[in-house]
Amino acid sequence: MWLELAAIFFAGVSGALAAVRKNFDIFSVLLLAWVTGLGGGLLRDVLIGAVPPVGITSWKYVTAALLAGALVHLFHVRLDRLRRAIIVFDAGALAMFVVIGVHKGLEYGVGPLAAVFVGMLTGIGGGLVRDLLVDEAPIVLRDRELYAIPATAGAVLAAWVGEMGHLNYVTGGLICLAIFGFRLVSLRLRWQA
Amino acid sequence: MWLELAAIFFAGVSGALAAVRKNFDIFSVLLLAWVTGLGGGLLRDVLIGAVPPVGITSWKYVTAALLAGALVHLFHVRLDRLRRAIIVFDAGALAMFVVIGVHKGLEYGVGPLAAVFVGMLTGIGGGLVRDLLVDEAPIVLRDRELYAIPATAGAVLAAWVGEMGHLNYVTGGLICLAIFGFRLVSLRLRWQA
Amino acid sequence: MWLELAAIFFAGVSGALAAVRKNFDIFSVLLLAWVTGLGGGLLRDVLIGAVPPVGITSWKYVTAALLAGALVHLFHVRLDRLRRAIIVFDAGALAMFVVIGVHKGLEYGVGPLAAVFVGMLTGIGGGLVRDLLVDEAPIVLRDRELYAIPATAGAVLAAWVGEMGHLNYVTGGLICLAIFGFRLVSLRLRWQA
């Protein structure tokens, strides 16, 4: 739970920073923090029929995303120095969103293939919508950093473990760590697809 | 009811004008009128589980939006002279969409927080999708006119009044007027966030 | 069934080619093939409440779209020579998606107006999302080729026949052929709206 809020918060930070770079006002910064932090889960919930989605009903989730937006608005000059830290947290958010998404999909009985899709969508959906709203080709498409590959591999692994009935805090956490580690290593070594 | 059709019509006009400015053909003008007039409500209905959404099932609503598109296609030269009138009607459409959206959200039992979100989304969603389709950064994000602040404040107020069981034609109308008035005054005085 | 898979495949090819033109990596090519092949049906299923949508649950459909992406990635130089063939197949995919969409809408009891909308959306939705993701104004809006008119006319016709209880393989096939033929003739003669 705390980890999920942290994932939403850090995804929200990346959305808010994109808004700040475009010189948007405070409201738009908050909106982009919300969309980036909760947009992936929103798409997931609509696709699996879990409406109204937690992204608009949960006070905790909404607060985590908006808090990210407010802090970025206030302190974004200093955040520039934290660029490396943010990339690390962003990788962590991706990893957790994917595993959480797969788990929720399986819980709603959508089958393993759909669970993989909603897991990936939870992970990359927020960033996709962020990039559409700031009128840029989505980073996940444009960028040759290995962003989507760990997300896909992690989602497939989580769906497979989940189908066998073994997706729990331990196995889910391990898959998270694997996605996270792969992403960091690929950034470090500047791997490209 | 008549007011809601009027709101859809005027939002449709703004969408059609955006299409005309891009030199789109008649079909695209109609499509953008439809998306802008009914897109916010469409997103709202998907999020609260009210499918199929009224934006594709109601003859009256669809006719109002398409009529706006057809009239703009035929008379758009003269509409340029009506620019000021259109801004006023657009502010009216925003105000009504927000209150209608909050009301429908509460009716579907999504809780006050989600009602605020779907109210705002009903108000600004159509314009967002319009701007995405004509490949521009959404006005609501880019523009420092106070567009989103009255929408947010109005949605919060309507959800609060609704939670206390007092959201009816009188109170809803008053909130509409407050959003509408704030928006017009902010345009007049060129307030910026 | 086989025809539907073929429609998904050829729509997927058009999405993958758009990704290749933007110099995207293999993952993005696959993602765009999936979105273009299955995105229209995904929007349709969300609007009519058929969740989780077949676009994320059906192995056959997903395989058809991803196969299109993989083949384009491997052979896209030669595909350039097939440009004319692809335009023909794309017209066929449009025709089939429209009729399939109307049929599924009626099956879910959304009424004739909504069936027309979801039919058109099934036909043009995938291409719309494709163009949004590669950051271009949607072809269906920008382009003055008669793309939307046969889709609309076909959807109206299919909904009308369906409302009278006569939408079956024979009548549906004839409507497909009519849309397909109109589109090809309009391309041949360079008709413009």
Q: Does C45 fall in a domain? A: yes
C-alpha span between B80 and B83 (Å, rounded): 5
Number of domains in chain A: 1
- Give how far A191 is from chain B: nearest CA, Å: 32
Each residue's pLDDT tens digit, B2-16: 778 888 998 998 889
Q: Does B177 fall in a domain? A: yes
Number of inter-chain CB pairs under 8 A, A vs C: 64
Q: Check B46 against A51: CB less than 8 A apart.
A: yes
Chain A residue whose CA is closest to C133: A137
Chain B residues near residue A59 by CB distance under 8 angstroms: 113
- Scanning chain A, the segments in alpha helix (DSSP H) are 2-21, 26-48, 54-57, 59-79, 83-107, 112-133, 139-142, 148-163, 169-188
Chain B residues near residue C46 by CB distance under 8 angstroms: 46, 51
C-alpha span between C55 and C4 (Å, rounded): 12
C-alpha span between B141 and A24 (Å, rounded): 6
Q: Nearest by CB to A113, which of C27, C28, C59?
A: C59
Q: Is residue C66 packed enough to be buried (19+ CB in 10 Å), middle (13-18) or exposed (0-12)?
A: buried
Q: How far is CA C164 from the centre of its chain?
A: 25
Q: Does A121 fall in a domain? A: yes
Q: Average pLDDT of C157-172?
A: 89
- Give how far C172 is from chain A: nearest CA, Å: 28
Each residue's pLDDT tens digit, B100-122: 999 999 999 999 999 999 999 99
Contact (CB, 8 A) for B52 and C47: yes
3-state DSSP of chain C: CHHHHHHHHHHHHHHHHHHHHCCCCHHHHHHHHHHHHHHHHHHHHHHHCCCCCHHHHCHHHHHHHHHHHHHHHHHHHHHHHHHHHHHHHHHHHHHHHHHHHHHHHHHCCCCHHHHHHHHHHHHHHHHHHHHHHCCCCCHHHHCCCCCHHHHHHHHHHHHHHHHCCCCCHHHHHHHHHHHHHHHHHHHHCCCCC
C-alpha span between A62 and A56 (Å, rounded): 7
- Give how far B65 is from chain C: nearest CA, Å: 14
Residue C44, pLDDT > 70, answer yes
Q: Does B50 fall in a domain? A: yes
Which one is predicted more confidently, C137 or A27? A27
pLDDT at B192: 56
Residue B193, pLDDT > 60, answer no
Chain A residues near residue B138 by CB distance under 8 angstroms: 133
Residue B44's alpha-carbon distances to A100, B16, B18, C35, in angstroms, are 25, 22, 23, 23
Q: Does A130 fall in a domain? A: yes
Q: Does B56 fall in a domain? A: yes
Residue C76, pLDDT > 80, answer no
Structural domain harbouring C74: 2-188
Q: Does B25 fall in a domain? A: yes
Percent of chain B predicted with pLDDT > 70: 90
Each residue's pLDDT tens digit, A132-165: 887 776 766 766 666 778 889 999 999 999 988 8
Q: Does B74 fall in a domain? A: yes
Q: Say if the ipTM goes beyond 0.90.
A: no
Q: Nearest by CB to A134, which of B137, B140, B148?
A: B137
- Give how far B36 is from chain C: nearest CA, Å: 14
Residues in chain A, pLDDT under 50: none
